A and B are shown apart, each in its own frame.
Chain A
Amino acid sequence: MSFGPFLLLAVMESLVTAATLALTAVGLSLVFGTMRVVNVAHGEFFMLGAVLAWFVTVSVGGPEWVGFVAALALAPLGVAAVATLADRVVLKRLNYEPEATIVATIGLLYILQQAALTFYGPEARPVEPPFNFRIQFPWFGYSGYKLFVIFAAVAVLLAVWWGLTRSKAGLIMRATQVDRDTARAFGINVDRVYAGVFALGAALAAIAAVLIVPIQQAHYLMGGEPLLLAFITVIVGGLGSLRGTVIAALVIGLSDGLIAFFYSPTLAKILATLLVALVLVFRPQGLFGAKA
C-alpha cells in the first residue's frame, strides 16, 4: 500500500482511539478535578458500560439500531447509578481522603470485575453495530460505524463542555472545584455535587464503552487498557483540566495510532509512558493544568 492511503487509514484509526480515549479521560479528569479522588476503578465503569450494553441489546431485540439507541441511553444511566452507590457507601464515608480513596477504588475495581465475571461470565460477547455500512476507498474498505464513533464522541464532549461552562449545574460544579468550603458556605450541597460528578465521570466512561462495544466485544477484563491510557492522558493534559485532557487525548490517540501503524504498537506504548515520565519530571501539573 502506498504512503497516502496508508496515512489516511492510520489517521482514521487513530481518531477512533482518540475519540473514545477523550471521553474516558474527561470522566477521570472531572472526578479528580472536582473531588480530588484518583479513581482506579474508572476502567471498570467502562467495562460495566460495555457489559450493560450487551444486556440491553439482547433484551430489547428488534432491529440493531433500536437496541443500540436503548443501550446508549440505559447503560450510562445504570453505570451512573452504580457510581452513585459507590460514592455514598464508600467514598463519602472516607471523607474523600486522597490516599484512602485510592485504596478504596482499587477494591471497587476488583468488586466490579469479579461481579461481571460472576453475573456476565468470562466470554467476550459481541454487540451488533446499529448499521453495517462500509466505505469503500480505492485502496481499502473502512467501517462507516467507526467514523460515526468519532462524531458521536465529539458531540458528547461538546455537550459536556456546554454543561460545564454554560449551565447552572456546571457553575456549581466549578465553584465546588475551586473551593469546597466556600461553596458550602454559599449553600451548595457539596455531597450532592460529589455524587453527581462521580456519576457523570462514570457515565462518560460508559458512553465511550457503548460506542466501542460494536467494534470490540464486551469482556470482563476490558477495563485495564482504557484505564491506563486515560491515566496517561490525564497526567499529560493536567489533572482536572478539561481542555488539557481533550488535547492530550488527541495527541496520545494520534501518536499512539500513527506510531503503532508505522513502527510497532509496543513502541507506541513505550513512548506514551515515557511522555508521562517526562511530564511528571518537568511539568508535574501537566501541560495545561494550573499550578497546585
Chain B
Amino acid sequence: MKKDLLVPSRRSVLKGMGAGIVASAFPGYTWAQSSAPIKLGFQLHRTGIGAAYGRWYERTAQAALKGVNDAGGIGGRPVEILFEDDATDPKRGAEVVEKLANDGCDLIFGPLFSHVVIGSAPRAGELKIPYLVCSEGYHVASGMLNRWTLQPGITDVRSQVSSMAPWVAANLGKKVTMVYPDYAFGYDHRDFFTEAIKAQGGEVIAQIAIPPTETTFTRYLPQIPAETEVLYHVMVGPAVLTFVKELGDFYGSGARPQIFGFIDSLEAVDTASPGLEFLEGTYFWEAMNRVKQDGQSDHEAAYRAAVGVDDNGASVTDAADVSTYSHMFSVWETLHTIKAGMEAAGYQSTADRQKFVEALEAMTTMPEGPGNPQGDKLFNGKTHQVFGHQNISQVTGGKLMRVHRTSIEDGQYADAVDYTTMSF
C-alpha cells in the first residue's frame, strides 16, 4: 500500500498526464472559472494604539481599490478587499492572518506596527500566503521573516536613517541624543542611526528608550545630556502629542539643541496645534510631504485628491483630521505592486501564490507614476525590500517645508539575506 503511494503505477501516471492534456486543451475553462473577483485581505490597525494610522490606511486602500477597479481590475478581474481589525496587537495579528487566509483571500497586506508584523509573519509563512507589509521595519530585509513576507511599498528604517545621517551631521550637529520607543521599531532607529552617524564622524551620546504605552514623558527628558547638539526623536502611539508638548514645556524659552524628529512623533497631529510653537525651525523626516510643496508632481496631485487630503495634509472634509501622509502612501503603492505582480505571474487562483511571490522578487525599478506617487523606487528581490527617496522638512510658519531630498543610492546597504534561496 505504502509502496503504491510513493511509486506511482503506470496507470496513475497516464491518468495524470491525461488530466494535464485536458486542462491545457481547454484554456477557456480556466478563464471562465477565474472571472470571480480577486480577494485581498487587509490586516488593519483599526483600533488599539495604531488606530490613527489604521483610519488612513483604510481610506487609502479604498481609494487605491477604486482606482484599480475603475481601470479594469487585475488581469481583467474585479478586486475586492476584506478588512480585518487586529487591534494593533501581535496575538490578534496572527489570528487575523489565519482568518483572512480561511476566508479565501489571495494574499494579505497592510500591517504597519513592527511588533504586529513580527508576530503575524510566521503564521503567513506557515499558511503559505503572500504577506505584504507596509511597516518600515528592518525585520524584512534583515532576514528575520520568511519568503512569503515582502515590503514593496515603503523604505525600511535602516535605509531611511542611513540616507539622512550625512545631512544631519553636516547641518545640525554631531553629538546626538536619541529618544525612541522601546520595541523593535525603536531598536531599528537606535542601531542604524547610531551606526550611520558614526560613519559621518558623529556620535550618539545618549539613548533614551521609552515604553510605547507610556503616557507621560517629562521624567525621561532630564536624561538628555546638556552637551547634546541634536535631539533625535521618534515616538508612536496615542500619546505622541503629549510627548512633543512636554518636550516644548521642558525646553521652554531656554536654550535647546537642534531637534530632528521622525514625523511618526506627529503623524495625524496638526503641527500648528497649541503648545507646539516651539517646533518652529525644527526638522522632521517625511517620506512624503504632507503639506503640498512647490513642484508637486501630477501623480502626487492625483493621489492627494483620490485619498481626500487637502494642501495642508488634512482630510478635505475635516481640517482637524490630519493624515498619516508619510506612511499611508505605502498602501496605495503596495496595491499597485500587487496588480503588477499578479499580472506578471498570470495569477489565476490561490494555487499561483508562489508564482506571484516569484514575480515580485523579479521586480527591480519602479518608476514614479500613478502607482508610485511618492517617487521612483528600487526593489531588491533578494531582501524583499524596496528603497525610495526620503525628505527632510523644516517647520516654517507652522508648516512642514522640504529642505532636502535624499537619493535612492544614499540609503543602500549590503544585503543581509537572500530570500530567493529559501524554500517556499
Task: Give me the interface of A with B, judged by CB distance under 8 Å.
Answer: 1, 6, 9-10, 13, 17, 117, 121-124, 126, 128-129, 132, 134, 136, 138-143, 215-217, 219, 221-222, 225, 257, 260-261, 265-266
Contacts and interface: CB of A to CB of B under 8 A. Distances in A.
A80 B211 CA distance: 33
A129 B248 CA distance: 15
8 contacts: A10-B222, A122-B55, A123-B52, A123-B238, A124-B241, A138-B254, A216-B242, A221-B48
Interface in B258-313: 268, 273-275
Contact of A136 (B54, B215, B222, B252): B252
B254 A124 contact: no
Nearest to B226: A1
Contacts of A225: 215
Contacts of A216: 215-216, 239, 242
A124 B214 contact: no
Contact of A124 (B52, B251, B275): B52
B249 interface: yes
Contacts of A257: 219
Contact of B48 (A10, A122, A134): A122
Contacts of B52: 123-124
Nearest to B238: A124
Contacts of B216: 13, 17, 215-216
A225 B239 CA distance: 14
Interface string B235-248: 00011011000101
A141 B214 contact: no
Contacts of A117: 47
A141 B222 contact: no
Given A122-B51, A122-B54, A217-B242, A1 B222 contact: yes
A132 B252 contact: no
B218 interface: yes
Contacts of B249: 134, 141-143
Interface in B172-199: none
A260 B219 contact: yes
Given A10-B219, A126-B273, A221-B48, 7 more contacts: A10-B222, A13-B216, A123-B268, A134-B253, A141-B248, A142-B250, A225-B215
A145 B215 CA distance: 17
B228 to A, nearest CB: 11
A219 B213 CA distance: 12
A140 B55 contact: no
Contacts of A143: 246, 249
Given A216-B216, A265-B211, A141 B250 contact: yes
A123 B48 CA distance: 9
A181 B250 CA distance: 55
Contacts of A122: 46-48, 51, 54-55
Closest 4 CB pairs of A and B: A141-B252, A124-B238, A122-B51, A122-B47
Contact of A261 (B219, B241, B251): B219
Contacts of B238: 123-124, 217, 219, 221
A141 B253 contact: yes
**Residue with the greatest number of chain B CB neighbours at <10 A, chosen from A124, A129, A142, A260:** A124
A213 to B, nearest CB: 11
Nearest to B273: A126
Contacts of B48: 122, 221
Contacts of A134: 249, 252-253
A6 B222 contact: yes
A140 B254 CA distance: 7
Given A123-B52, A132-B274, A261 B222 contact: yes
A140 B250 contact: yes
A268 to B, nearest CB: 9
Contact of A141 (B46, B251, B273, B274): B251
Given A6-B222, A215-B216, A132 B241 contact: no
A123 B51 contact: yes
Contacts of B219: 10, 13, 257, 260-261, 265
A165 to B, nearest CB: 33
Interface in B203-236: 211, 214-216, 218-219, 221-222, 226
B273 to A, nearest CB: 7
B269 to A, nearest CB: 8
Most buried by A among B249, B252, B275: B249
B147 to A, nearest CB: 33
A136 B253 contact: yes
B242 A215 contact: yes
A217 B241 contact: yes
Contacts of A128: 274
A87 B132 CA distance: 49
Contacts of A142: 249-250, 252
A217 B254 CA distance: 26
Contact of A217 (B54, B211, B239): B239
A55 to B, nearest CB: 14
Contacts of B242: 215-217
Contacts of B47: 117, 122
B253 A123 contact: no
A2 to B, nearest CB: 9
Contacts of A6: 222
Nearest to A224: B213
A17 B218 CA distance: 12
A44 B342 CA distance: 47
A281 B215 CA distance: 31
A123 B54 CA distance: 10
A17 B215 CA distance: 11
A142 B254 CA distance: 11
B254 to A, nearest CB: 6
A243 B177 CA distance: 43
Interface in B45-67: 46-49, 51-52, 54-55
